[in-house]
Amino acid sequence: MTVTGAAAAAASVLPGSTAWGAAREGRRRYALVGTGVRGNSMWGRGLVARYADTVEFVGLCDVNPLRVEVAKRDLGVSCPTFTRLEDMLGAVKPEVLMVTTVDAAHAECIVTALDRGIDVITEKPMVIDEAQCRAVLEAEKRNKKQIVVTFNYRYSPKHQKIKEVLLSGDIGTVSSVDFSWYLDTTHGADYFRRWHRLREKGGSLWVHKATHHFDLINWWLDAEPVEVSAFGSLNHYGKKGPFRHTHCRPCPHKTQCAFYRDITKEPRLVDLYVNCESADGYLRDGCVFREDVNVSDTMNAVVRYTNGATMSYSLNTFMPLEGYRLAFNGTKGRLEVRDFERQPWDVPEETEIYVTRNFGKREKIEIPKAEGGHGGGDDRLRDLIFRNPQVPDYMRLPGSRAGATSCLTGIAARKSVDEGRPVKIAELVSL
Ligand SMILES: NC(=O)c1ccc[n+]([C@@H]2O[C@H](COP(=O)([O-])OP(=O)(O)OC[C@H]3O[C@@H](n4cnc5c(N)ncnc54)[C@H](O)[C@@H]3O)[C@@H](O)[C@H]2O)c1
């Protein structure tokens, strides 16, 4: 099953896709704000190692003065460091700002950069609420600068393959989608150790995590969300736990707690967080049962899209396995995906994709092999941003509209849970 040249050409580009990088050659001046693990690795060392011919680091910034120095050492760069974004932008005048702070700070960083005429590459989620969303979209428009939102999931070969099967028309018009994402007691629990457990920092997992999934669906369906109905609850972490402490290191419940994590055995986390605690008090090994957890760990939503399709979506965070089940139900057949990331049994293949035609047979879809972070998506995304290779329109970089529509699905879901009613996207932001 391949996408023919004609089908690829006919595929429309989401209005949010951006022509980033077109006709740009040589090195550009990049600054980075938010030098935690993602900034350090994906957008720090990862660029120094592979993109020295196109990327020049001119400044690093983090509100934690110790962590920004760890980053400078890790990256091996000689640029100055800052604890205030305004100071950095004024002093080093970058052409592009890379935003990898906690989610709640993205919007302010993006608007500050755009208002100084600087293009922005931002980690997901672009924003965590509707007011931030409006502010970012208006700033982009008034400054005529560009935003790229780094939806790496789109760029793993398996996700590209799903897009191509849908574009081929083999299953007809998609009428509904079944999408269940499972986070396990390792990865899922880690959200509850960190700032992600607080809605005011990460917008809840409806926004922080599900923005990836909602973006994939918008892109796969070539559609945007219209209305969302959702339920969400806290069933396992936070105040639902049997005991609690501030964090793991001094915890009196170490021996009984299945979630105990000895961060002192992980040198990278010690460098980035433990050794920087004195500056901001942030505990990377926070207790998953702290009373202040104010996000759901169990989430279900139904979403209706501009093309009439609907999606049943769920996100569970304390499963014995990690991965997802996904199906597109079309007028001519069904596309089914089972993705295994981690589970306590062996699987022959990490991802299985099948197309079953109505009144016909089931066909197994071959997936190109991939290496690297996030199913190979991280490297392909960076190549697209920093090397600008030719790609079909449907693989072009996501821009602010994609950033907005994916976040707004989660923001609407969160509001639907809070208010016990369906929420229309148009109530939140006029796109
Ligand atoms: N695309 C992906 O697959 C992926 C994976 C991991 C993280 N992320 C995203 O990357 C971002 C960073 O995540 P992380 O895991 O590195 O978190 P982290 O906690 O390790 O790092 C965040 C950093 O931001 C700093 N910070 C907070 N507010 C700031 C502000 N106003 N100005 C400057 N610095 C500020 C913190 O001090 C910290 O060093 C998040 O938005 C997250 O959603 C994306």
Please report the pLDDT score of residue 57 as a whole number: 98
Task: Please report, in angstroms and rounded to a whole number, the separation of the first and last CA atoms in the chain.
Answer: 35
| 115 neighbors 54 (Cβ within 8 angstroms) | no
CA 196 remoteness from chain centre: 13
Distance 32 CA to ligand 1 centre (A): 11
Query: What is the C-alpha to C-alpha distance for residues 91 and 113, in angstroms, rounded to an integer?
Result: 13
Ligand 1 atom 31: residue of nearest CA: 105
Give the torsion through C-alpha atoms of 240, 246, 247, 249, to 10 deg: -130
pTM of the model: 0.95
State residue 276's pLDDT score: 98
Any alpha helices (H) in 16-129, and if so which ranges?
37-40, 46-50, 65-75, 85-92, 106-115
Distance between CA 215 and CA 230 in Å, rounded? 17
Beta strand 174-184 with 225-233: parallel, antiparallel or unpaired? unpaired
Q: Whose CA is nearest to atom 6 of ligand 1?
A: 38
Residue 14: predicted pLDDT:
34
- Predicted pLDDT at 20: 66
Residue among 101, 191, 275 whose CB has most ligand 1 atoms within 8 A, to mutate: 101
- Is 124 within 8 Å of 215 (Cβ atoms)? yes
Ligand 1 atom index nearest CA of 194: 19
106 vs 103: CA distance, rounded Å: 5
Q: Are strands 333-342 and 225-233 parallel, antiparallel or unpaired?
A: unpaired
Q: Strand, coil or helix: what is 204?
A: coil
Distance CA 161, CA 260 (A): 39
Taking the C-alpha atoms of residue 354 and residue 163, their distance in angstroms, rounded to an integer, is 13
Neighbours of 36 (CB within 10 A): 23
| Residue located via tokens 């002093």 | 91
- Per-residue pLDDT of the chain (431 residues), as tens digits, is 444 443 333 332 333 456 565 445 679 999 999 999 999 999 999 999 999 999 999 999 999 999 999 999 999 999 999 999 999 999 999 999 999 999 999 999 999 999 999 999 999 999 999 999 999 999 999 999 999 999 999 999 999 999 999 999 999 999 999 999 999 999 999 999 999 999 999 999 999 999 999 999 999 999 999 999 999 999 999 999 999 999 999 999 999 999 999 999 999 999 999 999 999 999 999 999 999 999 999 999 999 999 999 999 999 999 999 999 999 999 999 999 999 999 999 999 999 999 999 999 999 999 988 777 777 889 899 999 998 888 999 999 999 999 999 999 999 999 999 999 999 999 999 99
Residues with CB under 6 A from ligand 1: 33-39, 61-64, 67, 85, 100-103, 105, 123-124, 150, 152, 208, 374
